[in-house]
Structure 1
Amino acid sequence: MKSEYNLNKRIDFIGIGVQKAGTTALYYYLNKHPDILMSKYKELHYFSNLNIDFEEESRINYSNYHQNFDWTTPGIRGEITPRYCYLERCIPLIHQYNPAIKIIMILRNPVERAYSHWNMRLHNTEMGNRTFANYLKAEILRMNFENKFNQMPEDDYIRRGFYSKQIRHIFDYFPSQQVLILKYEDFRDNQYQHLLRIFDFLGLNGDNYKFEEKKVHHIDYKEEIDGFSLNLLNDIYKEEIEKVEKLLNWNCTDWKNVKI
């Protein structure tokens, strides 16, 4: 017979992105904390899975989801799937699953994020002869001419960088005290201090955490970004970056007129 604890179990936090903003490193570091039990592997894609019947999942108490976690060891549980912040359906489903869950989000310069995204795709899939600039042009056409804006996560290089809409969507469902948003560049340059900040957010002590800096999932660029794409992205994101600055009270001067 299942205990009351098992019947009411829920994971405690979730990392929702953004893609190409250090989430693999974050998973690695969090997994080393003695009081954190991360999912068996990164990127479960549970709440972004279009084939899942969430009414049925709720009825069976999310048992399919929970099998990805250790429930026999004391600690807090979490997972990281960068797609959750981008696909609009995910945030309401996460709230339905656990309204008290804590959300961690890392934002990266959207120009650099887009080009890093492209390079990851270039390494992992057969992209043919189409260039980064051609993919950007194709996405702009979709943005301009689709009656209903369909999200295509694999090839949405530009749209994934419109962070302000994603942030507002999160705050529509979760109070600010349950949400921690970090700047990738700060996390990259001072990982230990930002890990301590994350541990504090999660209600954990990080004083005895054995930190050892490690580069995770680094992919060298095959070529530099072309001038057309760089200028296009800098122009596209100019107003968006200002929106993020106002929303989060950040200084994002380093995101403006970037050179890669």
Structure 2
Amino acid sequence: MSRPNLFLVGAPKCGTSALHGFLAQHPDVWMSEPKEPHFFCTDVDAPFAIRDPERYEGLFAGARARVVGESSATYLISKVAAHRIRERYPEARIIAIVRNPLEMLPSLHSQKRVNGTEPYATFEAAWAAEARRRRGLEPALGAFPFYEDAARYSEQLERFFTAFPREQLHVIVFDDFKRDLPGVWERVLAFLELAPFTPNFKVVNRNKRIRSRALHKVLQPDSALHRLPKPLSTVLYKGLDRLNSAHERRAPLPPELQQELRARFEPEVARLSALLGRDLSHWLA
């Protein structure tokens, strides 16, 4: 049976889905379906997580490729995933992507709204509720219950740097993803020792909002839809999700909130810059 030897570990809303799709097109790569099994993050409340080892390994039973991978954006925030992956697959290679928190967090808020794990319609309101949620005064839902924690990249990466030899890790800065995607792709191929190949660089996971709350409830994990036999439930889910999604540009954050976020994440950006050996201070400009 084939074993996974590549893990795309997040962070969320940083291009993991796009990179998964690009890699899946390569003739020497096999990427899992579902994309995010969430198997190793047992400390994270991830939707549709696969916890059974036999079922997890069964995802890769049909793989016939040099590189076999999966992409769970929850692994980076998990406190146990790095160690668990290392314990089971010590030769695995890890790819992480980090993004300016001032861009990533509003994008994560939009995704949580779509997922039904964020009741506040605006990121400003959700950010203001963060302290109340930490005190247990309001529910903190989903795989990424606290926004600030999701952007603590330095401590998240440190767990992987501790668990794996540095040569088995590759960190991408999302700025490069936007500015020079072909160059990022070439470096990924070199890291994975894969032959040159040009995929279809299509845009995935654009910002979206839901059209109907009622239809959105039908799509939730605990609804009757997901009790239907597969692949019928999968086909219905994807079709209804497309029908209920509207893509749109995200409104800019208010200047005062931008300033608050810059001050909050200034120490984190400094730590991450030192860890990666790259100046990321422009994120706070």
Fold conserved between structures, TM > 0.5: yes
2:23 is matched with 30
The answer on whether the counterparts of 1:132 and 1:229 sit within 8 Å (CA) in structure 2 is: no
The reply on whether 1:157 has 2:147 as its aligned counterpart is yes
Deviation for aligned residue 1:23: 0.8
Residues 64-143 of structure 1 aligned to structure 2 (within 5 Å) = 64-71=55-62, 73-125=64-116, 127-129=118-120, 131-143=122-134
Is the Cα–Cα contact under 8 Å of residues 42 and 81 in structure 2 kept in the other structure?
Answer: no
Q: 1:237 aligns with which of 258, 262, 265?
A: 265
Map 1:193-232 onto structure 2 (within 5 A). Answer: 193-206=183-196, 209-219=197-207, 220-232=248-260
The 3 A distance-change label for structure 1 pair 74 and 212 is: closer
Deviation (angstroms), 1:171: 1.2
How far did residue 155 of structure 1 move? Answer: 2.9
Q: CA deviation at 1:120?
A: 1.8
Change (3 A) 1:139 1:15: same
- In structure 2, distance between residues paired with 1:186 and 1:225: 23
**Residue 167 (1) aligns with residue 157 (2):** yes
SS of equivalent residue, structure 1 residue 85: coil
Q: In the alignment, which residue of structure 1 is the partner of 2:35? A: 42
Once the two structures are aligned, what percentage of the paired residues are identical? 25
Unaligned runs of at least 5 residues, structure 1: 1-5
TM-score (norm 2): 0.75
> Shift of residue 49 of structure 1?
4.3
Aligned residue type for 1:38:
M
Q: Which deviates more from structure 2 when the two are superposed, residues 106-115 or residues 213-222?
A: 213-222
TM-score normalised to structure 1 length: 0.82
CA apart distance, 1:96 = 1.4
C-alpha contact 1:162 1:240 (8 A) present in aligned 2 = yes
CA distance 1:129–1:136, shift in 2 (3 Å): closer
Q: Which amino acid aligns with 1:11?
A: P
CA distance in 1, matches of 2:283, 2:274: 14
The 8 Å contact of residues 136 and 229 in structure 1, kept in 2 or not, is answered as: no
- Larger RCO: 1 or 2 (CA < 8 Å, sep 6+): 1
8 Å Cα contact 2:117/2:142 also seen in 1: no
Question: 2 CA distance for matches of 1:118 and 1:97?
Answer: 33
- Whole-Å Cα distance in 2 between the matches of residues 242 and 195 of structure 1? 26
Do 1:199 and 1:205's aligned partners in 2 also have CA atoms closer than 8 Å? yes
Please say if residues 102 and 261 of structure 2, whose CA atoms lie closer than 8 Å, have aligned partners that are also in contact.
yes
**Are the structure 2 counterparts of residues 140 and 33 from structure 1 closer, same or farther at C-alpha, using a change threshold of 3 Å?**
same
Q: Which residue of 1 aligns with 2:230?
A: none
In structure 2, the residue corresponding to 1:158 is in which secondary structure? helix
Task: Render the CA deviation track for 1:27-62: whole Å, top value 9, x for unaligned.
Answer: 1100010000000221111112469897xx6xxxx4
Number of residue pairs matched by the alignment = 238
CA contact (8 A) 2:105 2:147 kept: yes
How far has the Cα of 1:228 moved from its partner?
3.6
